[in-house]
Amino acid sequence: MENNNNSNSVNITNKKKEVILFYCVECEDLAHKIASQSSDIITLQSINWRNFDDGFPNLYINKAHDIRGQHVAFLASFSSPAVIFEQLSVIYALPRLFVASFTLVLPFFPTGSFERMEEEGDVATAFTMARILSNIPVSRGGPTSLVIYDIHALQERFYFGDHVLPLFETGIPLLKQRLHQLPNNEKVVVAFPDDGAWKRFHKLLDHFPTVVCTKVREGDKRIVRLKEGNPAGCHVVIVDDLVQSGGTLIECQKVLKAHGAAKVSAYVTHGVFPKRSWERFLHKKDAGADQAFDYFWITDSCPFTVKAIVGKAPFEILSLAGSIADALQI
C-alpha cells in the first residue's frame, strides 16, 4: 500500500498543466512556436479582433464556455498605445470567465525605461502601466501570474500590487547557448555598454571575461569610454536589455574596435528599433566592406521588428518560445 501511495504522489507531481493560450494578432507566430514546444499540453485559442465603425474595439472570445475550470494564458504585445486598450479589455475579461488560473505573458514591458522622475512634472509611465496591470481581476485560482522578460529596471518589480504575481525571466540563457555554438578558437568577451547593464547581467555571465564601458559628459555630448577590461584580440559581445536608436551600441563598438577587438557582436533581449533604426546595422552589400557587427542577436519579444529583419545580416532571432512554454508550467 505504501508503494502505491508513493507512486500516485509521483504521478501527481510530474503531471504537467494543460494551458489554453490566447494571443494578440501580432503575436500569432510566437504563439504557434510556443504551442509547438508542448503541443500535448498547450492549446491555442483565438479571439475575434474587430472594430466598430467609430474605431473602438468589437471583441469576441471564442468558445468562452469551454475555458471554464481551465488554466488560461494570454500572450500580449503592447507595441504601441493604439493596441493596448483592446488587449487590456481581453486581459480583464478572461479571468472573469471562471478559469482555474490566469497568466499574462508580456515579453516586453514597453514603458520600462520611463521609470523615474528627474524633475517635478515628469511622469513615470512605467509605474502607470504597472498599476493598470495590477488591477487585473483575480481568477478562481488567485492573482494573475505576469511573465515579463528583462524588465529595464529591477526596482520596477515593486511597482506592482498584490493582485498580480510578477515573474521576471531573462533571455540570457538563449544567448549563452548561442555563444557556445561559436567556433572554439574564438575567445568570447562580454561587454556592457554602461554600469546599469553590468549590474543587470554580470552575474548571469560571470564565466565570461568582461569589459565595461561608461558614458562621460564632454560639454554637451555624452562620450562612450572604456572603463575596465581588455577586448584586444577577442570576439566581444555587447549585452544590454533593449535597443532603441542603437547609438550607444555603435559608439561602444567603435571604442572596442579602437582597443583591438577582433570582432564585435551585440545581444539585446528587446529589439525595439523605432523608425526602422535597425537599418543602420545592416551589413553593407560590398563584400570587402568592414562590417561593424558580426552578429546582432535579439529575441522575438517585439514581433514587428522580427518580421522586418528576418533573414537580414547581421541579425539572428533567438526565440523565447521554449522559455515561455516552461514559464506557463510554473
What CA–CA distance (Å, rounded) separates 309 from 316? 9
Reading the block at residue 125, the C-alpha cell is 509611465
Give the tens place of pLDDT for each residue, 251-262.
Answer: 999 999 999 999
Q: State the pLDDT at residue 291.
A: 80
Give the tens place of pLDDT for each residue, 59-76.
Answer: 999 999 999 999 999 999
Q: What is the mean pLDDT of residues 26-39?
A: 96
Q: What is the mean pLDDT of residues 12-20?
A: 81
Sheet with 263-271, side-by-side order of all strands: 221-228, 210-218, 188-192, 235-243, 263-271, 296-299, 315-318
Task: Say whether 150 sits in a helix, a strand or coil.
Answer: coil
User: What is this structure's pTM?
Assistant: 0.92
What CA–CA distance (Å, rounded) separates 122 from 29? 37
Q: State the pLDDT at residue 2.
A: 53
Q: Residue 207, Cα to own-chain centre: how many angstroms?
A: 23
Least confident of 155-169, 233-247, 268-282: 155-169
Is 40:64 a contact under the CB 8 Å cutoff?
Answer: no
Q: What is the mean pLDDT of residues 27-50?
A: 96
Task: Identify the sign of the CA torsion 250, 308, 29, 181.
Answer: negative
Task: Say whether 291 sits in a helix, a strand or coil.
Answer: coil
Q: State the pLDDT at residue 124.
A: 85
What CA–CA distance (Å, rounded) separates 252 from 212? 10
In the structure, what pLDDT confidence band is assigned to residue 1 with cuts at 50, 70 and 90? low
User: Nearest Cα to 113, choosing from 245, 226, 265?
Assistant: 245
Q: b or e along 181-192 (b: 16 or more beta carbons within 10 Å of the residue's beta carbon)? A: eeeeeeebbbbb
Q: What percentage of residues in the chain have a pLDDT greater than 70?
A: 93
What CA–CA distance (Å, rounded) separates 57 from 231? 52
Residue 14 has pLDDT above 70, yes or no: no
Q: What is the mean pLDDT of the chain?
A: 92
Q: What is the mean pLDDT of residues 15-20?
A: 93
Q: Which ranges of the chain does DSSP label H, i.e. alpha helix?
A: 2-14, 28-37, 81-93, 125-134, 172-179, 195-201, 247-258, 303-309, 321-327
Q: What is the mean pLDDT of residues 214-231?
A: 86
Residue 271 has pLDDT above 70, yes or no: yes
Least confident of 121-125, 208-212, 228-232: 121-125
What CA–CA distance (Å, rounded) separates 256 from 278? 20
